[in-house]
Amino acid sequence: MPLSRLQIAALSFALLAPGALAAPPGADIDMREASRFKCAGGEEMAIAFTSDAAGSVAVVALEGGRHALPIQPLEPGPVRITWSDGARTLVWSAGVQLMWMEGHERHLSCGRGGHSH
């Protein structure tokens, strides 16, 4: 069944509307220029920062994967900044300690300092 002119116009508008084809936050970042941190298991984590309408976004490259994690609200207590997409979490704490978590299966400690929860 052929599309009507109205259907073609609506489809064209949807495809050309601002944001319809928007790339995810950090997609345009060249990770070769990112900050790099050695992790306890020998892995290397690259991190770059950008922002979107909601705030800061940490773009993390680790073992061939690339993840854009939005910043989370600050919590009371020791200074910690957290970025998370719900499945993966990056936590910065004083002393340039970075912790990467993917669910319950994987934790990496990177930068200076030891791994602690």
Answer whether 112's CB lies under 8 Å from 96's CB.
yes
Sheet holding 80-84, edge to edge: 80-84, 88-93, 97-102, 106-111
Of the candidate ranges 42-46, 101-105, 113-117, the one whose mean pLDDT is the lowest: 113-117
Tens of pLDDT, residue by residue over 41-74, are 888 999 999 888 878 999 999 888 899 999 999 9
Kindly state the percentage of the chain with pLDDT values over 70.
71
Mean per-residue pLDDT, 10-14: 43
